[in-house]
Amino acid sequence: MLRRIVIAAVAVCALGTVHIQAQKNEFFRPKEVWNDTEGNPINAHGGGILYHKGMYYWYGEYKVGKTVLPSDATWERYRTDVTGVSCYSSKDLLNWKFEGVALKAITDDPNSDIHPTQVLERPKVVYNKKTKKFVMWMHIDSPDYSKAEAGVAIADSPTGPFKYLNGFRPNGTMSRDQTVFVDDDGTAYQFSSSEENQTMHINRLTEDYTKPDGKYVRRFVGMAREAPAVFKHGNKYYMLSSGCTGWDPNSAELAVADSIMGEWTVLGDPCTGPDAEKTFYGQSTFVIPVQGKKNAFIACFDMWKKKDLQDSRYIWLPMMIDKQTNKITIPWHAEWNLDVFKKK
Ligand code: DGJ
């Protein structure tokens, strides 16, 4: 036995480094630490997923370092320095390879929107078939959240590097929590919490997806919806969103519409199971259509840890769509995988 240990030790020394193979993830385990393929916790908060040429890409806030609370805070402005937007790739949605920081903070210009001292949240990337560019939209803000703008960056490759173009108030209106949705006809829309987070604006984008084209509608007027996540099922459009309580959880809400800029009808809270009324302590960020499976969607939530934002966890849960009624629910699962969609 001793001899074997000695031989093993000599072999390790001879190789110089010990390569530890990270464990393969077989299940989604909401709220648990979720490691990437190198064994490091996935760091992609307020994220969004893009499917492109057989690969899923997960973009999110790369939150590194201490969480700080500005001394003048009148509400919960806990933040980390902006380091950029991370990118991970995966074929199976369970095992994610870190592709690096796809959009890096600009550290040498204190006036830049994406300087470490600012706020960068909820990045979402879409692919423009006409320009062949990957277009990233994000919420950018001042540390006191008074700027309320959207920022846009573009890249030639899904893993970046993304080049930051500019920040602005879409159609001259405030924009905080946001997402971008591309319809089947290729038209893209930015959904953003506007008017001091009281009303959702749906801004139609130009053909290259880098700007609003001037047409927008006010929806969910005075309903204070945040964290929009938009998806299409059948001929209907859905928006999952949260209420507006800083980093603290509240109830989720699902709404439906026949057309994106048309009228939206609130369906209610789709979450079921323990702590469903608090969205399981999460806040929506994206809904992933699972490729190659019919009626299979994953609802993605962030479980914010406001005093240590870097350690915020993820809650990914399957959406269940009743075949007869089309009713959508998001039941709690402590552990699950894509087989759940077979059982329907
Ligand atoms: C809730 C938003 O959804 C988050 O993205 C973040 O902006 C926090 N508010 C800040 O309190």
CATH, residue 199: 2.115.10.20
* Angstrom distance (rounded) from CA 311 to CA 299: 20
**pLDDT for position 22:** 75
Closest by Cα among 51, 47, 50 to 60? 47
Question: Considering the domain boundaries, does residue 10 fall inside one?
Answer: no
**pTM of the model as a whole:** 0.93
* pLDDT at 7 > cutoff 80: no
CB of 151 closer than 8 Å to CB of 140: yes
Number of domains the chain contains: 1
User: What residue numbers bound the domain in which 216 lies?
Assistant: 28-343
**pLDDT for position 69:** 81
Residues 6+ apart with CB under 8 A from 21: none
* pLDDT at 3 > cutoff 60: no
CB of 256 closer than 8 Å to CB of 327: no
- Cβ–ligand 1 contact at 302 (below 6 Å): no
Question: Considering the domain boundaries, does residue 211 fall inside one?
Answer: yes
* pLDDT at 236 > cutoff 80: yes
Give residue 9's pLDDT band: very low, low, confident or very high (50, 70, 90). very low
Q: Whose CA is nearest to atom 9 of ligand 1?
A: 246
The 10 Å Cβ neighbour count of residue 282 is 27
Tens of pLDDT, residue by residue over 93-116, are 999 999 999 999 999 999 999 999
What is the average pLDDT across 236-259?
A: 97
Give residue 5's pLDDT band: very low, low, confident or very high (50, 70, 90). very low
Question: Considering the domain boundaries, does residue 166 fall inside one?
Answer: yes
Question: Position 269: which residue type?
Answer: D
Question: Position 158: which residue type?
Answer: P
Question: Considering the domain boundaries, does residue 2 fall inside one?
Answer: no
Lowest-confidence region among 3-12, 26-35, 139-148, 216-225: 3-12
Ramachandran sector of residue 162 (left: φ over 0; alpha: ψ -120 to 50; beta: rest)? beta
Give residue 21's pLDDT band: very low, low, confident or very high (50, 70, 90). low
Question: Considering the domain boundaries, does residue 14 fall inside one?
Answer: no
What is the average pLDDT across 177-201?
A: 98
**pLDDT for position 168:** 98
Q: Which of 247, 251, 286, 300 to mutate to test the pocket of ligand 1 (most atoms within 8 A of CB)?
A: 247
Question: Considering the domain boundaries, does residue 134 fall inside one?
Answer: yes
Question: Considering the domain boundaries, does residue 1 fall inside one?
Answer: no
> Which atom number of ligand 1 is nearest to the Cα of residue 121?
5
Question: Considering the domain boundaries, does residue 91 fall inside one?
Answer: yes
For CA atoms 107, 136, 289, 230, give the dihedral sign: positive
- Would you call 341 helix, strand, or coil by DSSP? helix
